[in-house]
Every structure is written in C-alpha cells, then in structure tokens.
Structure 1
Amino acid sequence: MFAKAFRVKSNTAIKGSDRRKLRADVTAAFPTLGTDRVSELIPGKEELNVMKLYAHKGDTVTVYMSGGNPILFELEKNLYPTVYTLWSYPDLLPTFTTWPLVLEKLVGGADLMLPGVVVPPTGLPPVQQGDLCAIALVGNRAHAFQARTLLFFQLLLLLLQRNQESVYEQISEETLPNPHLWIPSRAPVAIGVAAMSTAQMLASGLKGKGFSVLHTYQDHLWKSGDKSAPPAIAPLAVNPTDSNEEKVDLGLQGSLSSLTLEGEEENRKVHHSEASEDTSSGAVSQDSSDSKPLQEQMDELLQQCFLHALKSRVKKADLPLLTSTLLGSHMFSCCPEGQQLDIKKSSYKKLSKFLQHMQQEQIVQVKELSKGVESIVTVDWRHPRITSFVIPEPSPTSQTVQEGSREQPYHPPDIKSLYCVPANMTQLFQESGHKKGSTLEGSEVRRIIVDYAKRNNLVDADNKNLVKLDPILCDCLLEKNEQHVVMKLPWDGLLTRCLQNMQPAYQVTFPGQEPILKKGKLCPIDITLAQKSYNKKVTVVRNLETYGLDPCSVAAILQQRCQASTIVSPAPGAKDSLQVQIQGNQIHHLGQLLLEEYRLPGKYIQGTEKAPKPGKK
C-alpha cells in the first residue's frame, strides 16, 4: 500500500477527546496489549499527531504519529500497527517467517506467497482467514537454528529423491547447522492479512497467496518516521542437548518442487545467503548497542544547528535578531537531512533556556527589546566554538521537491509572458506568417506592427510619431464608435491597444524539461491571511503548482520551521489545485522560503507585505 509515495492531505495535533477514543479503539482491536501498554503506546500528554493521506492507489488512510514516528494507521475503519510499533511490542500479532531475499519483493509492493513461508518444527501459528499477522525474517528468536536445520533436511530429501549420489557424498557433518551458532534475531519487517487459515495453508501444500501485505519496513510510511533499522530481539534460550531429540515434520513442508538444487553451486548460494544474514543482523545489533539516549542526541543536534546557523547564515547586519526567527528561519534549515530538530525532546525543553546556556558561554547576548519578545543583540563570531565548528557537507537531495517516487533539486522556472493572435486580428499578422492562435512575445508584436506600418506607408509624413490607420488597423484596434472619428494613433497608443486586444498567455520552462505553454493570465503565488473562530489567524498560500512546487512538500517544511500545524486541501474555485494552510501569521517564513531558498522572483508572489512587523507578535 505504501510502496509508492503518498500525498498528505492534512497533519494536525490530535484533540484530547480523540486521544481517549483512539486509546479505546486500540484496546478493542488488540486486547492482548493490555491497558498499561496501550497507555505507553498512546501517552496522555506527549505530542500525538493525526495525518490524513491519499495512497498512490487512491485509498484514504489515517496515520497516527507519536515521537516523529507513525505508530498506527487506519484503513476502512480498521486499525493496523506499523513496524515501529511491532518493534516495541513484537508479540502483538502472530508471526510468520520468510527468507531475507523476499523482503525486497515485499517492499516493492508484492504479497507474500506460501512457498516463501518458512515452517518451523513447531508448526505454523494458528490463524483464521482475514487475521492480521506480522512477517519476520529468518533469524528471529529461536527459529534461526530450526529454520537452517529444516532447510538442510529439505535439500537432503530432494537429493535422495533425485538419486544424486555424487552430490550427496559431498555432504558431511560440517554442512550441518551448528546448534551453538546463532543468527542475531530481528523484529518483524511487514504487516499483512492472512489470505487463508492455517489449516487451509497446510491443505494446499503451501501453494498460492499467503498474505496480503499492507506495510513493510523501508516503504514510504516507514520513511515518514526516523528511518531506524529493526532493533535486535534477544533470542530464546535453547538447550543444545535437546536439539538432537527434535523431530522435524517434513510433511508440513508441502511440495518440495519449488526448491531447486544444482550441485554444489546452489548449496554455496544457500550458505552465502545465511552468512549475509548473519553479517547484516550483527551490524544492526552493534549499532543499536552503541546508540546514544534520544535526549543526548537532540542536545547535540540543537547545538550543531545553532553553531551552523551563526557561522553560515546569520550576519552582523541581521542583528538584533528575533530568537523565533533564528529558530524558524535559520536553525531548522541547518538541520541535516533525515533528522528533525525538536527542542521539547532535548534537555533544555525551551529555546529560551538553551539560549541562556549559550549566553553563559558568552557566544551570544540575548535581551528583551520589547515586552515578552527576546532578541539576539550580539554574537561573538570569534568564539572558539564558532571558529572551530566545521560546516557539514550539504546533501545533494536537500531542498528538493518530490515528484512521484523521484526527488529532484528544485530550480525556479523560466517564465515568459506571451500573447496569442485572436481571430479578429489574423489579417494584421498573416503577412508575417502567423495565424490564429500563434503565440508571440511582446517584442515580436512590436516589431511586426512597426514593419506593417512602414511597409504600408502608414507613418505620418508631417509627424513621424503618429501612424495613420488603414481599414485593417481600424477593424483590429478601434471600437465601433471610433471607426470614423479616430484616424491616427501615436506609436505607444497603437502598440498598447494591440497588446490589450490580444489574448494573454505564458510559457513556463523548468530546467531539463520541455516548455509548458498555457493560455490565460499567469496567476502569482497568492499569500493571504484569514481570520478563523476565536480570533485565530491562519496563513493560506495558493498557486504553488504553477511554479513547480509540491504543496505537500512546502507544508512539511513550514510545519517544521514554524512549529505550527498545516493542512493541505483543495483550493476553492480551482480545478486540480491545492492550497496550504498554516496556523498563525507565517507570511514572513513563507516569503523567506519562496524568495531566498526557492529564488522565485518577487513579481510572482503577492501578499508578502502582510507579514508581521519586527518586534510585534
């Protein structure tokens, strides 16, 4: 479902009543979770957002975000956990196991077929058709050794059936899985709905479709979170002496015709895939053990963005600088790609406390220039922490606009104002080789009119600033009541009337793309300030698509910089156009984003004059 990019409709903070209702819905949907764990999953006071989105197939999905990660998603009034939630509660759903190579297919949008399901000696988990299940990779918990043992006996049985004695003789005790060799276990990597019950799976000989996959690790829903890797799960303890007494029921494996073996080459491939799984799982386990606490990571990120902003973005001419402007316009834009700056998750909790700490280190000086509004008045750019700070290399994908599943660097388009030849003016332009509907630039129209007047000897001999009107010019430029009254026109009046009577058009050319020609007047990006209930203000921006800007991407950037909720909705009175609504007066941030970062010319943006004045809320 999330194999391709989705479009975000809105992203807002959840209300208290909705939070309580969600907690009740989760308890009803997953009764094994328990009240205490439901309270952990949906905390009472921590930030919790609800995001409405459209999947690439048109499905409307509601996603609940907590701590920057999607934890639940709702589809057709059914709640489903994400992989982030299953990593915290791995026993929430019955788990089926598949091979690591299958994960790539699942991420691409494929469903899990039964031949790819690994059956442990204890049998498949009992489920009914339509039950929600988790999908894990070989190596999870105690099934690592069991699955490898089972694979060995499957291959051995196949060799005996094919009577390949020459290959069989090469199998020794060294090829048996070592019961003491454990693959570091990993958490579930996908969520799916069972296409048949466990009894039906076994009766079919493990053939056909097993699970309809809804969400996977590495899909676009996972990418909307912190993009962390599956954590390690401690394997269950196994007594080595018991492994010799385990009985493997090969009858549960169904048909072995799907397995192929061609001598030693295929055998090497099997052991190579197992070794790769060992290596990758070990790396994940090592990374997770070396990770720092979230609060410490956020403190480091906060100081990095602060020093980066002072060294590369803030100039002496900008002082005094509002602390809110420092955070929204400079520090957020210095945040590395893939990370999100959240002061509430740091040890400082508030920007003012962090700046007080920086003031104690004598990096900056903060003063309250107006009541309740703090500003940075001086910066010591010679401070060792600023001079020694190394600005990180910019990411090649920073400041990008998402188009489908690809991301390309944004460059402002080249825009030209054009004029279309209308039907009643074709006679005037036909001598120059233009017909009805032809598009011309203003300079071309001027040249054609001058050539026409000179070629037909219409320039007044007594006053070269006047042009005599012949029947064609009269029909093209004059009103009916002027036909027999106006005999001459000055050059500027003649050209002005000509351009006014032609149909407006424009051409937009993006770098590396074919020009886009559209008739009508070019609408600028419109920024307005609207008044909502309880005297609340919201900023609305329209017509972003004309300039190649994705409203959803712009909304995500503004939500992070302004620390305010954003909503993307259809623009009223405009077909196939979206508008972005941001809580509060955010015209200053919008103008800075469009003019300075996206480098759009100011003549194509209207409404920036309504930005709040410095020093006032």
Structure 2
Amino acid sequence: MFKKKPQIKNLSPLKSSERRRLADQIRKDYSLPEPQSEADSEQTIAQPQTLSSIRNALLPEHTSSAKFTTTHGSSSSLISGTIYVGAHPDEEERVLWFQIGKDDRLIPTVYTLWHNPDLIPLLHIGETIVGKLKGGADLFAPGLIKPYRGFDSRATKGAVVAVAGHVSDTVPRWVGISKVDVSTLQDSATGTAAEGLHWEGDELWTWSALNKGGTAAPSALEGWPSLKFGIEQNMDNLDLDDDDDDDDDDDGPEGEHVTGGVAIAKHDAVEAASKEKDTLQGDDISDEHIPTTKEVDDAFLEAFVYSIYTAKKNNPGEPHGLDFPIQPSYLIANMIQPHLRNQSPQYTIKKTSWKNTKKFIKHLDKQQLLKSKDRNGGETVILDIDFNDQAVRTFQPYRLPKPKAADTSEDAAGGGAVKDTGTDQSLNQRLTLQTLYRASAKLVPELLPSKSQFYTAQQITQAIKAYLDANPDLINEAKKRYVKLNPFLANNILGSNSSSDDNRYLAAGEIDRGTLNRRIIEDDHLCVPHHILLRNDQTIDSDPTLKPKAGPAPHVTLTIERRGGNKVVTAIAGLESFFINPHLIRPEIQKKCAGSASVGQLMGGKPGMLEVQVQGDQRAIVEKEILGKRGVKPEWIEVVDKTKKKGKK
C-alpha cells in the first residue's frame, strides 16, 4: 500500500485526552488483557502492566498525527487516512500507526510491533518469500508454515496479521489484513491468505523525522511466538529429495513446495532447513557471529565500567571530568558506545535484555554503581557514580576497536536535514550567509546575460553601470545623477509594477541612478532573491554542488509562550538550516537553562522539522551561549514573545 510515497500533510500534536482515547480504542480493538494492579505489576518487569504504561507503549507521549493520501491496489485507486507519529524511549520519531478510509481501526507498523509483543497474530513463511512480500505482493496460503501448535486462533477473516520469516521467526516484518480464516486453514489451501498494507522497506518504514531512512529489523525479539520447535520436529518429515513423486504435492504458486504442513521455496528448502538445524544446535554458521542477549548485556556492563575506569584514570580529581546529571543520550553516545569491545550493529541497547536506556540505568542503580533519578516527563538521569566500586578498582582494560572515520559531508544547499553522527559538529562553526539573485526574463539579455545564473547585488549594480556606459545618450547632461527613460527602462523595469512612484518617474521621463539600482534589486519580479549558507571554509565558487535556495534567508525562531496553563516555555525552531542537530544540543540546553528540555515535531512544520522546548524564558541563554557558539548571528534570530499582555483598546 505504501510502496509509493504518500502525500502527508503537516503533523499536529495529539491532545493528552485524545491520545488516551485512541490507546484505549487500540486495547479494545485488539482485545488486550486488562491491566494489573500496581502491586501485581511489580512482579512482571519485562512487560508493562499498568494502564498508563500500556498506553505509553502503544501510543507514546507527544504523539502527533497527520492526514495522508496515496494510491492502492492494481487500479491505483486513491485512498486517504491518518498516520500517527511518535517516539519510543531513546529512539527517534517513527510512524507507529495508521488508519485508512472509513475503518476506524488503527493498524500498527512494524516499529509498533517490535515494541509490543504478541499484539496481533504472527504468521510464518519461508525467508525467500519475505523478499517477495516486501516487493508489494500479497500473502498466498501455500506459502504459510503451519506450526505444530496450529495457527493463531485470532487470525480470523478481517483480522490484522503480521508475518515473519522462518529464520528471524520472532520479528514481524510485514502487516496485512487476513482475507480468509487462517486459523482453520489446511495444508492444501490455495488462494490469497492476506492482503499487504505495510512492510519493512516501504515508505512508512522509511519516514524519519531526521530523514535518516528506516531502522533495520532486530535479529530476534522476546514475547513473539517462535517457530523453531515446529521446524525442529518437522526436520525428519521434510523431504529434501527432489523426486518425481513430489510433483503431485505442489499445490502452491510456481516455485513453492508444500510438504508435511511446511511451505518453503524449492530452491531454498535444503539450505534453509540445514541452516535452521544448525541454529537450533547452537552452531555459529554465519560469517559474523550473532551475539546472544547475555553477551550484549555483558558488553554493555563492561563498557560502562571501562568508561568509569577511563574517566577516573584521566581525571584524578572528582567528579573525574564528568558533568552531572548525566543524560541517557550522553551515557550511550559518550560512555557506552566508544568502550564496546565490538562496534557491530548487533551491539545496541535494543539488543540487550533491558531494551532501553532507562531500564539499563535502573539496573546499574540496583548494582549500586550509580545513583539515578526520574525527572518529569519520564526521563531518568544519573546523579552520581561510585568510582571506588570493586568492579572499577579491579577492572582490566581490553583493546578497543579503532573508531570509524566520521562522516563530515555537508548538506550542499545549507538547509537540509542534519546528519546524526553522534557528535555535535556545529560547535564553533563559522557561518556566512550570502544573498544572490536570479534575473527575470525582463532583464535578459539587455541588462544581464542569463536568467539561470546567480548574481550578487554588486554584480547587478555593475551591470547597470555597464548598460548606461554603453548608452551615453540616456545620461542627462544637466543633471548627471538622472537617467532618461528609454523603452527598455520604461516598459521592462518601471512597467513591472503600477506603483505611484513608478507612474511619477514615467511622467517625468527620468529616474535617479540610485533609485534605479534599488528599484531593480528590490523588485522580486525583476531579481528573484535566493540565499546560500556557507559553513567554515566553503565557497560557492570552489564547490559546484552548492546551490542557492529560493526565498528569504533562514532564521532561528525563539518563541516564548505559555503551554499547559501558566507554564512558560521557550520553543526553538529552524536549527536544521544552520547545521544544528536539535537532538544533540538538547542536553546542553537542559544543563545551561537548568530546566527540562525536549525535542519534538515542529507544530505546523514540514515532516522532519524539529523543535526544542525548554522550561522558562531562556531567550538570553539560548541566543548567547547556545546559538552564539554555533555561529548563528543575532540578526539571524527572531524572537516572538507571546506572553506579553495585549494593550487595552
């Protein structure tokens, strides 16, 4: 359904009451169990059980919505609906749910399924067929692998179902609507089993607030039903010999083989079965070792202790070079990641048993390695670290892998999405803002040679002087400051507008030289303004990839307003145009302003344009200590104070 990019309107934040209503609707539509009491929930740490935690897992706080339109089906009929964008803890914003047509039911994306195990029925197919589904195909019944326990009883006609491959059998990668009652299907069933709506790799999966593209699926997830036991028991029943007798059992689409309730691509059957058997026996059959959850946990704990050991060694005096409180983002980016034994993508917080940074910090707190505190908004920060813990005193350093070279490529136009490299490359940058103009057809070729070329104001002024030097009869000998009007000047320049000043010049038959210069440059019907923001040693002449952008120059907007009653906040928008990553400066803003700060979608802005909010009127600190250190000049900052009371009429 989202094979082609949908047209998405501006995102708008959901009200808290609307978010709770939608979360409760999801609970009802998908028949989720009622939440336990607070006392009971303490016994089950892995899965949130309280009503508020279930709502947050389904629809996180600060979720936004937007209308969309796209085409669907073989006839490419137009269809519309709503997407819901939010961010799970320590992750960036993603499309989490969508609703289509007149169906009020919200349909989860794979990102939601990765955080909400067993939310919908999970069906299994051969790994080769997953690639076909990700190309936009529907799911056919002969491609299904029927486990020994049978299909999920919830997979009835019209139900929302997910699909996983037989290798990563606990990871949903495709979402669709069941066209038949899958729960009662037999091995000999044919036809379409489910219609595809969304999958890993489509345009919803690709959408990102930072324009970074989609996030790859994890290798395994806890809480989803595994197929491994069914395949292990079916190994002896799987006929791996391609006999002539097998042709009678081929009830599926061309190239698929059905035997003993297990459907798998013919050319992949032997390889897939042997690989799965090796996996079940615990053998490492891949070139790159896939670590277990315990191995990733141990690596994260080692990395944390290593970071404390290094800080203590390099900075003898407490707090050993660390600034408290330590934010979760700083912990992962500056303490854990650089000290991991293995820099493989397999070693991420999502691959640990904690799944997110908050639970990881809580675990370290229980181990008495640090002291933590929950702040408003659910964020957990580190208040202190025990540098004299035995684990730190007896730690033996290990060899760290060489860090990869950072990607220092710039956005060519000076206003695109900021690349998230994990380090703030905007600090101490030098910025130069240039205004350039493109000539309209009215000035070409008499005054300027090309309408596709960019000109500075000085070049346009020189072109006007050269035009007058080539036409000396236009100079008024009695008043050399004045220029006589010829048909070109009268019709193409003064005739572009019908202002009273132009009519006065036309009546007089002459115009002042300075006025003529300003008249040409300031009229966007004659000279279309463009801008380009150059960074550090960039020049427009040395880099042919740099292209000016149409419209006025960018600016950072500081909006001081009241939100949530009488609470005053400072909202900072437009940072991306100045190569500043909102996520990377949030911890610094929070520390400098001594107040809670958050990053979210800019209300009314284009998808991917972010806004940083910090408590209080912080315009002075933000302008001087945050933006000033990143090369943003005061004239590029616009302050909008909405807290001032309007004067009485």
Report the TM-score when normalising by structure 2.
0.55
Q: Which runs of 5+ in 1 are unaligned?
A: 141-184, 312-319, 362-383, 611-617
SS in 2 for 1:130: coil
Q: Is the 8 A contact 1:539 1:581 kept in 2?
A: no
Once residues 322 and 234 of structure 2 are traced to their aligned partners in structure 1, the CA distance between those partners, rounded to angstroms, is 71
**Do the aligned partners of 1:83 and 1:188 also contact (CA within 8 Å) in 2?**
yes
Deviation at 1:435, TM superposition (A): 8.9
Structure 1 position 98, deviation (Å): 0.6
Cα distance in 1 for residues equivalent to 2:544 and 2:141: 46
Q: Which amino acid aligns with 1:258?
A: E
Does structure 1 residue 568 correspond to structure 2 residue 587? no
Q: Distance in 2 between matches of 1:405 and 1:103?
A: 32
SS at match of 1:210: strand
1:231 equivalent to 2:231? Answer: no
2:437 aligned with 1:418: yes
Secondary structure of the equivalent of 1:104? helix
Give the Å deviation of 1:25: 3.7
> How far did residue 194 of structure 1 move?
0.8
In the alignment, structure 1 residue 452 sits paired with structure 2 residue 453: no
| One-letter amino acid matched to 1:529 | T
1:349 aligns with 2:372: yes
Q: Secondary structure at the match of 2:63?
A: strand
Distance (Å, rounded) in 1 between the aligned partners of 2:221 and 2:462: 70
1:99 Cα deviation from its structure 2 partner = 0.2
Measure how far apart 1:107 and its partner are: 3.7
What is the distance in 2 between the residues matched to 1:241 and 1:115? 20
Tell whether the 8 Å contact from 1:8 to 1:52 is kept in structure 2 after alignment.
no
- Does 1:197 pair with 2:145? no
For residue 484 of structure 2, what is the amino acid of its counterpart? D
Partners of 2:25 and 2:96 in 1: CA distance = 11
What is the SS of the residue equivalent to 1:531?
A: strand
* Aligned residue identity for 2:29: A
> The residue matched to 1:564 in structure 2 has which SS?
strand
SS at match of 1:230: coil
SS at match of 2:271: helix
Aligned partner letter, 1:505: V
Task: Give the letter aligned to residue 176 of structure 2.
Answer: G
Q: Distance in 2 between matches of 1:481 and 1:564?
A: 56
Q: In the alignment, which of 251, 260, 267 is matched to residue 255 of structure 1?
A: 251
The one-letter code of the counterpart of 1:209 is T
Measured in 2, the distance between the counterparts of 1:392 and 1:258 equals: 48
Report how many aligned residue pairs link the two structures. 506
Q: Cα gap change, 1:557/1:570 in structure 2, threshold over 3 Å: closer, same or farther?
A: farther
Q: Would the aligned equivalents of 2:14 and 2:64 in 1 still touch at CA under 8 Å?
A: no
Q: Distance in 1 between matches of 2:50 and 2:306?
A: 25
Matches within 5 A, 1:398-409: none
Residue 292 of structure 1, CA deviation: 1.0
The aligned residue for residue 190 of structure 2 is 207
* Contact 1:458-1:469 within 8 A present in 2 as well: no
Task: Select the residue among 583, 601, 608 that pairs with 2:613.
Answer: 583
1:42-65 CA deviation, whole Å, 9 max, x = no partner? 545667425335578464223565
1:317-375 CA-partner distances (Å, limit 9, x unpaired): xxx99968x969988875869769956851332499846438999xxxxxxxxxxxxxx
CA distance in 2, matches of 1:78, 1:193: 12
Q: 2:105 maps to which residue?
A: 78
Tell me, what secondary structure is at the counterpart of 1:271?
A: helix
Q: Does 1:506 align with 2:529?
A: yes
Matched ranges for 1:138-287 at <5 A: 138=166, 186=170, 188-198=172-182, 206-216=189-199, 221=205, 228-231=218-221, 255=251, 258-259=254-255, 269-278=268-277, 286-287=291-292
Matching of residue 49 in structure 1 with residue 79 in structure 2 = no
Letter in 2 for 1:607: E
Residue 531 of structure 1 deviates from its aligned partner by: 1.4
Equivalent pair of 1:329/1:589 in contact (CA under 8 Å)? no
**Corresponding residue number in structure 1 for 2:157:** 129
- Higher mean alpha-carbon deviation, 130-139 vs 338-347, is at 338-347
Give 1:263-342 correspondences, 5 Å limit: 269-278=268-277, 286-292=291-297, 296=301, 342=357
Quote how far apart the aligned CAs of 1:116 are.
1.8
Which protein has the larger Cα radius of gyration, Structure 1 or Structure 2?
A: 1
- 1:14: Cα distance to partner? 8.1
Q: Deviations over 1:156-213 (max 9, x none)?
A: xxxxxxxxxxxxxxxxxxxxxxxxxxxxx6455444321122499659x543322124
Q: Which moved more, 1:226-235 or 1:399-408?
A: 399-408
Q: Hey, what does 1:162 align to over in structure 2?
A: none
- Conserved 8 A contact 1:83-1:216: yes
Question: What does residue 377 of structure 1 align with?
Answer: none
- Assess, with a 3 A threshold, how the Cα gap between structure 1 residues 22 and 216 changes in structure 2: closer, same or farther: same
* Aligned position for 1:179: none
Task: Tell me which amino acid in the other structure corresponds to 1:569.
Answer: M
Q: Could you give the per-residue CA deviations for residues 545-599 of structure 1, whole angstroms, max 9, x where no partner exists?
A: 9x598xxx9666666775415233335xxxx7996544335766699887777x7
Does residue 536 in structure 1 map to residue 567 in structure 2? yes
How many Å separate the matches in 1 of 2:545 and 2:11?
Answer: 30
Q: What is the aligned counterpart of 1:101 among 105, 128, 131?
A: 128
Residue identity (%): 14
**SS in structure 1 of the partner of residue 465 of structure 2:** helix
State the match for 2:28 in structure 1: 28
What TM-score comes out, normalization by structure 1 length? Answer: 0.57
